Each structure stands twice: as structure tokens, then as C-alpha cells.
Structure 1
């Protein structure tokens, strides 16, 4: 069971929540005013979690506690957790104001407060000038603002956002991110955002809950996920780290000396569960490796060098991205700033790889990797 909590009394607590039959339960908390991002490679899993939070689906096990109150079986219209997603209906024949007011009227909102609430959320989302515009004439970015206004009209305790940037061009997505960030800070919103990749998970600036399929493997800020992943899956999913197999030769002062299966002896930070003379998975990010071109430093029998050949070279603006092949046929990625001389960097060339021990982490090998 994965457990991730945040300092302070949680507003929302997912207690031993299980998403699918046979999947591992996890505990995750959100404090008041926190913006938490969810990230994983399978959007369907994150969407199911969002639906469970909003009450449109049921978990296999566990509880959803909001301010200590059990919301697990509470109907969507009765729980103060509101979901915004591309699946939300927008009534095209109604104007913006009517779209916002319709669900409030269904829930029995008092007429004397209805117009004030509608006016307030339109002002917050910049929709005043579009109040009488039919919803079917809105741009995708304006339609998203309409959905946000409708959600905010409920004054939710938790705002859940699932894939809300889909269908937006780059400029519209940037405007939507700015609006969401401004609303979150100005209103002190407690927000859960299902991201579609690492860059999408970073912009809120808070903790990121990282999922491998339906399993929560780590929840931390971006710096921790990058520099001190707790699991090889965290290193691979968030840090895009290369995963290399090897055997631990020795561990001294938390530094592991590892003989890689592809040849070469290297060093890395040792996970606390790592043991000498055991198989391990070494994780090193593409931007933390140093290439030696044009010369190869010969190692002794105990410290053979790690040698690779260049398979492809991609110039990506301010950096070059290299695809490398190791002696055992495995391929890894390396990213480096642009160098003054690029003559040696071409497919087929051989280079030697090195890194500081602090730039890699060695974990005990697991059967499921």
C-alpha cells in the first residue's frame, strides 16, 4: 500500500483507496488550498480516479473523507467535490448565463442569490462580455471557462480537473493555465488536476502524485521526483531516466559500485534497501551523463569503462538528443547542451559515458520492472 500525506490536517483524505479489483490500495491527502497534480501513462486510470472523487463511479475499496466526513457513497449532487472534464455537457441552445444558472436552478438555488452567484463567477472567469452568447458559438477556450464558471458557482470544497486542456491550441492552453493558476491562488482553491505528461504536471508548482497504471508509486514535489525518486518507476516515468541492470559490487557510505550487464563499472547513490552482491536497477537521467568524445580512458580490470555507439542525433534548439546503443544491444538516451564542435557527434561514432555518483540511483531489482 502506497501512502502519501502532506503536512497539516488534510481537507481530503483518500484512505486505502483501491481503483480496480486486484490493484494496490493507496492513501493520499490534500490540504486546504493545495493544488495537487496527478500524472500517469494511462489517462483512463486518472479519469476513473477523478470520476470516483466526484461520485460518478465507485472505488473497489477504501474511503473518501472530506473534512473527516465519509463521502464514499454520497451522490454527486450532494458532495462538495466538483469535476470539470471534456465529458461535461454544454447546452448549446442556452447562452452563457443560462448555462451557469441551469444546474443551480435544478439544485434549488434561491432566486434572490442566483443572479449574484452567476455574475460573480462570470467576472472571475472573464465571461461578462459573453453572458448572452449562445454556448454553441463559443471557442473551445471560452467553453472551458464556461465549465469552470459553472463549477465555481457551487463553491466546491475540491475542484477536480480531468483533461481540461484537450482540444485547445497552444495559445489557448497557455491562457487556460494562467486562468486556473490565478483562480487557485486568488480563491485559495483546493484543486486536483489530472495531467497528460510531465510538462503538463509541472505548471501548478505543487506536489505531483505519480501513478504506474493504477498504482501510486510516489507523491512529492518536482525536485524530489527528479533528484530523489523512491522507485525506478518514478525515475523512468517522471525523470525519463535510463534504466540499466547490473550487480552491486560494493556499497561504501551510501555509494554503490555497480557492474553493469552491458559492461562497465559505475557508481550511484544506493537505495536504503540495496545490498551488496545483489542485482539492481540503476537509474540515470539523460541530461546527467557526460560523454567523452575522441578518446577513451582505459580502465583496469576492476573498472572497465562504459562504452556506447551513437545511433541517431537530433538537434532540438538548445540541446542535442542522442540515441546510444550499449554493448549488450540495449539503447538509452542522452541529452547535452550544444557543443562548439559537432564533428565527432555522428551516427556510428563511439564514446565513453560517465557521471558523478550523486547523479544516479541504484535500486534493488524487482520482478515487475
Structure 2
């Protein structure tokens, strides 16, 4: 295998049930890397990983592990280990016996089993509870034990199905850090399927954004935030505002857009955008500047390069201030500002003007106009 060859290479992959619009998925993961698939439907994420692991039939495509297609091999023989909350520990076995079970099922010699289990117990900090049964474990130790049961047979790729689901926030943060540390120490290759953006951002070297079963874009965090491929990535991943408008003109990469409120704004032109086309303009809340004019400044401001709005709500969120504005046509815009900004005089009903640099907004063809 060449040094830069992917550890896992999935090509034209389709899992059941098949519908006329079912898309094929293609992605790859380098050895020691982590691809996070961020989806909006947990059932689709679980079905994808179950199919990769061999628990459900693969309708079409290749699953290449170190260049070898394993799609026809049965579950347990593909080198892909599935970690899921749907697979609890055996309640009647101790932690040590739970970890030993998959090795015993493979017929490994007893001395090798003991050595391997001891190594994984030490790696995960489970030495002190090896003789306990699952009902005596706290949530973090129970999670560690389930991960250890997967790590004992050293699969080439770990398939992580929403691995932190059901954990309280503190436990979730601790187990996320543990997984990242273990992955670095062991050089693990991970495919993380999650509906939590924070999980994807903190663990994924690359992130694939899905809408249902369609893979919209794969990239690093900066690419997905700053260069989204479509409005669904901009809004679903980047929390961008989505404003409806019509394109006045497109020149090079710049578009002039007339919003439904009557205001004219500029943005970068998304792929396929053309003159006189309906569009969705996406702008992230933290890329919008706010101006609250007073007195003569308010009367003299012609708003040529700004968007007139009315403040309808504000909340201090600790690490930022969330401001909600309403445009003249009723569309709302969310703005995030640093917490150092003074809230004095900011009350619902206050008029304001919004602005942004064209490079920070993207106008995409309205989905109803795309063929």
C-alpha cells in the first residue's frame, strides 16, 4: 500500500432501502485520520454504519480497506469495528469478561487474551473496575468498557455511531477528550457518524455534511464555514441566515441581489447563479455589522449600503450576544456580537442598520430554480 493511500475508501456506496432518488456515497479516510459525517437523521447514519460493518446488505458500491474490497465479507471479518449505544455490555459478565468475550469468540489463546485485555484496561483507565459488572459502573466507566470491548481485537477502522448519545454534558465532554487522546496514541482511523456539530468539529480532520442520505460537501471546518457548496451547508452547518432575493447582475464572482424587502446587497456568487434568478443569500450571524443610528445621524442616513431593520429580541448567551432583527418584508436576521458590546439602550423596537462585506455572504440559486 502506498504511503498516502486511504485506509478506508468507499466508492459509489448505496445502502437499503433504495428509492429512485437514493444517492450513492463516496468518501475516503487516510490512515490515522477521522472523517466525521454530520447528519440530520440518526436513522440514516446508523443504517450507513450498519451496512459498512456488514450487518445490513450493501446494495451497490465498493468498501475498500487498504485497497481490498471487503463488501462481500460477513460482519466481523471486514476489519471494521462498530461502536454503538445499541450494543450494551453483557449484564452478567464483569468488565474483564466483557472485553475478553470477542477474543474468546475468535478462538484466541488464553494467554494472548489476558495480555490484550490487560493492555486495553490500562489504556482506558479501567484497571480499578475490571471485576465489576455493568450495573456497578458509572456512565463514564460503562462507556470506556464498551469502547474497550471494540479495541481489544484492534479493527483497522472504528465506525462510531453517535458514540456519545445518552451521556450527560460533563460525561460527553470527558469521553470526547478520551476518544481523541486514545485515537492519537493508537493511531486509530475513525469514521464518526453524529448529529452533533461540536463532536464533528472537535474530532473530525474532515467533515462530511449530509442532508438525509445525500452527501452535500466534504471539507475542513474553515471550508465548510467560509466556502459552503450550497445553502443547506451554509444554514445547516454554518447557522447562516437565509434571505430570499432576486439577482440583479453577476459579474465575475460578485452578485448584486435585490432582497424581498427592497434593499440591494452584494454577495459572492454561488455556482450556477445568473442574472434575474431567484436566489437564497446566506450570511453567518457573526459576519454582520450592526449600526444603531441616533438623532441627526439616523435622519440623515440614506441606507445606501446598509439594510434597514428593527430589533425584535436580544439575549446574552455568555460567550456572545444574540440579536434578532426583522426586515421590512418580515424576514428575520440573527446577529451574534462579542459579549463586550454594551446593551445600554438596546431594546426591542429600536431601529438599526445591518451591513456585511460581500466576501462574507454567498448567494445560491434558489432550489426551486435549479434543474
- Assess if the C-alpha contact under 8 Å between 2:49 and 2:82 holds in 1: yes
- Cα RMSD after superposing both structures: 1.9
Aligned residues: 360
Which of 286, 299, 302 lines up with 1:298 in the alignment? Answer: 302
Aligned partner of 1:364 in structure 2 is 365
My pick for the range that moved more, 217-226 or 22-31, is 22-31
Partners of 2:306 and 2:221 in 1: how far apart? 32
CA offsets 1:3-62 (integer angstroms, 9 cap, x no match): xxxx93222111111234232112111111111111112111111111112111223332
The alignment status of 1:42 with 2:41, answered yes or no, reads: yes
Give 3-state SS (helix, strand or coil) of 1:93's partner.
coil
My pick for the range that moved more, 229-238 or 19-28, is 19-28
The alignment status of 1:351 with 2:348, answered yes or no, reads: no
CA offsets 1:81-121 (integer angstroms, 9 cap, x no match): 00111111311221111111112111211223111111111
- Assess if the C-alpha contact under 8 Å between 1:263 and 1:304 holds in 2: no
CA offsets 1:120-159 (integer angstroms, 9 cap, x no match): 1111111111111122211111111111111111110100
Relative distance call for 1:109 and 1:8 in structure 2 (3 A) is same
Partners of 1:113 and 1:342 in 2: how far apart? 65
Alignment of 1:150-169 (within 5 A): 150-169=149-168
- Assess if the C-alpha contact under 8 Å between 2:242 and 2:283 holds in 1: yes
The alignment status of 1:209 with 2:208, answered yes or no, reads: yes
Alpha-carbon distance, 1:339 to partner: 5.3
Aligned partner of 1:113 in structure 2 is 112
The alignment status of 1:29 with 2:25, answered yes or no, reads: no
Alignment of 1:122-141 (within 5 A): 122-141=121-140
Partners of 1:307 and 1:58 in 2: how far apart? 55
Partners of 1:160 and 1:340 in 2: how far apart? 43
Partners of 1:285 and 1:203 in 2: how far apart? 20
Alpha-carbon distance, 1:323 to partner: 2.0
The alignment status of 1:11 with 2:7, answered yes or no, reads: yes
CA offsets 1:267-287 (integer angstroms, 9 cap, x no match): 111124222222221110011
Give 3-state SS (helix, strand or coil) of 2:38's partner.
strand
Aligned partner of 1:318 in structure 2 is 319
Partners of 1:261 and 1:279 in 2: how far apart? 10
Give 3-state SS (helix, strand or coil) of 2:367's partner.
coil
- Assess if the C-alpha contact under 8 Å between 1:263 and 1:305 holds in 2: no
Alignment of 1:83-122 (within 5 A): 83-122=82-121
Partners of 1:339 and 1:127 in 2: how far apart? 44
Relative distance call for 1:135 and 1:352 in structure 2 (3 A) is same
Partners of 1:107 and 1:21 in 2: how far apart? 34
Partners of 1:249 and 1:70 in 2: how far apart? 51
Structure 1: gaps spanning 5 or more residues: 1-6
Partners of 2:196 and 2:350 in 1: how far apart? 33
Aligned partner of 1:4 in structure 2 is none
Give 3-state SS (helix, strand or coil) of 1:154's partner.
coil
Q: TM-score, normalised by structure 1?
A: 0.92
Relative distance call for 1:330 and 1:50 in structure 2 (3 A) is same
- Assess if the C-alpha contact under 8 Å between 2:84 and 2:162 holds in 1: yes
- Assess if the C-alpha contact under 8 Å between 2:278 and 2:369 holds in 1: no
CA offsets 1:188-235 (integer angstroms, 9 cap, x no match): 100011223211211115101110111100111101100111111110
Show structure 1 runs of 4+ deviating over 6 A: none
Alpha-carbon distance, 1:170 to partner: 2.3
Partners of 1:141 and 1:122 in 2: how far apart? 14
- Assess if the C-alpha contact under 8 Å between 2:244 and 2:281 holds in 1: yes
